């Protein structure tokens, strides 16, 4: 198989590097960790090591070229694994080169068509004819790179994806035969992809047909479907109206013969048969994917640092205990969260940087004079963050009732998009489930997030004695582009002051 090697992140905050010199050539044999290139970043010149034992297949960047981190710069054929004919990218490159107006090398030549436009989940832009062809060829159209305007997928793109479907397990098995020449392997893979018979050079041959049209009863078609057999490949034993007619028995016979041949192939190659369902695959989409995308964006855009501390909250526990009953009289359930949100807001006022965000496009820091606090809520569908607006202008009960309502809406998925937007800082209650400290990921583009551990009695040293006190573990992650470690610590200290003596909030 081919291993693509991307320019790694070679130093803190480095987003691109210049290829100073290639230390290998295409076709060279390399060992793992052997330097293959010298790359200069704005901090240093570093050597980039080979990730595997193998041979250099293709060098994708020229000397002197600036390459963004994450772009493929070189590919390797991994030692001991069969050689593939052409990868998708190479095919795309070749197609590009064929064009009359080939793009000059180095001019964003790495951007593939599929990445041109980001399309929301579940939506594919392709003509109905292309979608139908994809179903016919067994191609997942969502995975096809479109070559049309804005990445629209054409029938041609679908066929190209079907032809390059070399990652199909059966095909890989067929290709594993070392004696098979590359040309044969590719011919086999084409045969397998079009639903024909199995490996040609296999020890056992299955007689199979290749018709355009086959008559069969619907039940027979269903049987063929279940057995994974192409009706047009089943030898026809009868004719009806002059057309080949396939019976259910013929389908069963053919399916069995095929399975035996496959098994024989596998045994001949000395390959272990995989036990069924060692892994289960489900599509990565929906809320799971949007959470993932958001986390990825945050973690990859904002360099996180996390500051841990804990605060003794005896007073907070008492105050909440006193207020709880009053709140209940008004039909509102008062948790610690509104008190903590108030304390956080008061501290944010003293540390505006923690309530800011970075406008990357305009290279400006946006300090916000409003305090919209997000509350992370675990729901059946995944993590959601409803936002309580203008916490500084609201009383505890109002915050409590708004928050309870929003969290409930998030749980039953009736929450509106707007109700999860516009936050300036987020609080997440990890302790509700258990545990003390966390390394929360910032709700990008906010500058900080505070994770709460469980409020529990823990040993505390007071006047030289170890005593049991209610404490609250705090974990604050901040975007280091905006907030330095010292400020993160100072901000946390301020939050602690308010939580230790909640009366101070009266002064706010």
Partner 1 sequence: MVVGDIATGTDVLVIGAGPGGYTAAIRAGQLDLDVTLVEKNAYGGTCLNHGCIPSKAMITAADVAHEAGNAEEMGIHADPAVDMAQMVEWKDSVVDQLTGGVEKLNKANGVNLIEGQAEFADENSVRVGHSGEGQGSESVEFEHAIIATGSRPIEIPGFSFDDEPVLDSRQALALDSVPERLVVIGAGYIGMELSTVFAKLGTDVTVIEMLDSVLPAYESDLTRPVKKRAEELGIDFHFGRTATGWEETDDGIRVSTEAMEEEVAAEADGGAAETFDADNVLVAVGRQPVTDTLNLEAAGIETNDNGFIETDDRARTEKDHIFAVGDVAGEPMLAHKGSKEGEVAAEVIAGEPAALDYQAVPAAVFTDPEIATVGLTEEEAEADGFDPVVGEFPFRASGRALTTGDSEGFVRVVADEESGFILGAQIAGPEASELVAELTLAVEMGATLEDVAATIHTHPTLAEAVMEACENALGQAIHTLNR
Q: Catalytic positions, please?
A: 480
Q: What H or E segment, with its residue span, contains residue 43?
A: none
Task: Kindly report the number of other CB atoms within 10 A of residue 270's CB atom.
Answer: 7
Q: What's the longest Cα–Cα distance across the chain?
A: 102
Cis peptide before 445 (omega within 30 of 0): yes
132 or 470: whose CB is closer to partner 1?
Answer: 132
Give the three-state DSSP class for 16: strand
1 or 287: whose CB is closer to partner 1?
Answer: 287
95 or 127: whose CB is closer to partner 1?
Answer: 127
CB of 236 closer than 8 Å to CB of 242 = no
Residue 396 C-beta: closest distance to partner 1, Å: 33
129 or 408: whose CB is closer to partner 1?
Answer: 129
Write a three-state SS string for 200-215: CCCCCCCCCCCCCCCE
Q: Report the interface residues with partner 1, using CB under 8 A.
A: 116-121, 123-128, 131-132, 135-136, 148-153, 215, 217-219, 221-222, 224-225, 231, 290, 417
Cα 163 to Cα 244: distance, rounded to the nearest angstrom = 29
Q: What H or E segment, with its residue span, contains residue 290?
A: helix 286-301
Task: Kindly list the strands in the beta sheet with 2-6, ordered across the sheet, starting from the edge strand earlier in the chain.
Answer: 2-6, 72-78, 54-59, 29-30
Short-list 393, 376, 394, 397, CA closest to 385: 376
CB of 266 closer than 8 Å to CB of 273 = yes
**Can you list the alpha helix ranges (DSSP code H) found in 114-270?**
128-137, 155-163, 169-175, 182-193, 218-227, 248-268
DSSP state of 354: G
CB of 206 closer than 8 Å to CB of 198 = yes
CB of 234 closer than 8 Å to CB of 249 = no
Cα 146 to Cα 158: distance, rounded to the nearest angstrom = 8
Handedness of CA 152, 153, 155, 159 (dihedral sign): positive
The token pair that represents 38 in the structure block: 């010298």
Residue 99 C-beta: closest distance to partner 1, Å: 21
| Chain CA centroid to CA 18, Å | 28
Handedness of CA 5, 6, 12, 16 (dihedral sign): positive
């Amino acid at each position: 198989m081919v291993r693509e090697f991307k320019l790694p992140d070679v130093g803190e905050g480095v987003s691109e590097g210049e290829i100073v010199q290639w230390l290998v050539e295409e076709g060279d044999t390399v060992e793992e960790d052997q330097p293959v290139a010298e790359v200069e970043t704005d901090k240093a010149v570093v050597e980039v090591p080979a990730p595997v034992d193998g041979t250099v297949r293709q060098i994708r960047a020229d000397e002197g070229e600036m390459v963004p981190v994450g772009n493929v710069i070189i590919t390797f054929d991994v030692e001991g694994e069969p050689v593939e004919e052409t990868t998708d990218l190479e095919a795309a490159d070749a197609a590009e080169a064929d064009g009359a107006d080939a793009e000059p090398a180095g001019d964003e030549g790495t951007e593939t068509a599929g990445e041109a436009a980001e399309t929301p989940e579940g939506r594919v832009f392709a003509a109905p004819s292309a979608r139908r062809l994809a179903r016919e060829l067994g191609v997942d159209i969502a995975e096809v790179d479109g070559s049309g305007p804005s990445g629209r997928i054409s029938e041609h793109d679908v066929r190209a994806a079907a032809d390059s479907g070399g990652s199909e397990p059966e095909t890989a098995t067929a290709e594993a035969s070392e004696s098979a020449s590359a040309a044969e392997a590719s011919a086999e893979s084409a045969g397998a992809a079009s639903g024909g018979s199995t490996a040609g050079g296999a020890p056992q041959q299955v007689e199979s047909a290749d018709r355009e049209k086959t008559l069969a009863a619907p039940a027979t078609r269903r049987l063929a479907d279940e057995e994974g057999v192409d009706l047009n490949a089943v030898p026809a034993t009868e004719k009806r109206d002059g057309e080949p007619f396939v019976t259910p028995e013929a389908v069963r016979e053919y399916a069995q013969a095929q399975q035996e041949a496959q098994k024989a192939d596998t045994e001949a190659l000395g390959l272990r048969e995989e036990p069924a369902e060692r892994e289960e695959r489900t599509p990565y989409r929906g809320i799971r994917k949007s959470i993932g995308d958001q986390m990825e964006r945050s973690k990859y855009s904002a360099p996180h640092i996390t500051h841990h501390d804990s605060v003794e909250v005896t007073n907070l526990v008492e105050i909440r205990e006193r207020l709880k009953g009053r709140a209940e009289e008004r039909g509102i359930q008062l948790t610690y969260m509104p008190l903590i949100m108030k304390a956080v807001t008061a501290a944010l006022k003293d540390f505006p940087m923690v309530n800011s965000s970075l406008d990357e496009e305009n290279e400006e820091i946006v300090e916000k004079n409003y305090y919209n606090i997000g509350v992370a809520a675990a729901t059946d569908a995944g993590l959601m963050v409803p936002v309580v607006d203008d916490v500084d202008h609201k009383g505890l009960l109002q915050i409590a009732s708004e928050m309870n309502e929003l969290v409930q809406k998030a749980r039953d998925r009736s929450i509106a998009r707007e109700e999860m937007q516009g936050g300036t800082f987020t609080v997440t209650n990890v302790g509700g489930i258990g545990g003390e400290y966390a390394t929360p990921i910032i709700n990008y583009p906010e500058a900080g997030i505070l994770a709460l551990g469980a409020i529990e009695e823990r040993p505390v040293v007071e006047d030289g004695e170890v005593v049991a006190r209610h404490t609250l573990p705090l974990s604050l992650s901040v975007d280091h582009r905006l907030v330095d470690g010292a400020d993160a610590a100072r901000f946390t200290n301020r939050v602690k002051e308010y939580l230790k003596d909640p009366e101070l909030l009266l002064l706010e």
